[in-house]
Amino acid sequence: MLHSLGSSHRQIEGFNPDTFWKIEEPILLAVKETLGHRYTANMEYIYQKTIKCISETLIDEFILID
């Protein structure tokens, strides 16, 4: 799904793949607000790593030359 999503953004004229990095902060904030006191530093670390993997996959697929 990530490969398909990343490549689909090639159709958007002028799209900058660095925009994928902008998902990190809103996702972390949403998770933190949803979990409240259950949100720990370890969870933040895990989510940061997960978001990094997702963003890198999206970017790699976006810039992939067929």
What is the pLDDT, as a whole number, of residue 66?
55
- The 10 Å Cβ neighbour count of residue 10 is 14
What string of H, E and C letters represents the secondary structure of 13-28? CCCCHHHHHHHHHHHH
Residue 36 carries which DSSP code?
A: G
Residue-wise pLDDT tens digits, 8-51: 999 999 999 999 999 999 999 999 999 999 999 999 999 999 99
Provide the whole-model pTM.
0.82
Confidence grade of residue 64 (pLDDT, cut at 50, 70, 90): confident
Domain range annotation of the chain: 21-66
Check: CB of residue 63 under 8 Å from CB of residue 3: no
Work out whether the CA dihedral 60, 61, 65, 66 comes out positive or negative.
positive
- Taking residues 45-61, what's their average pLDDT? 95
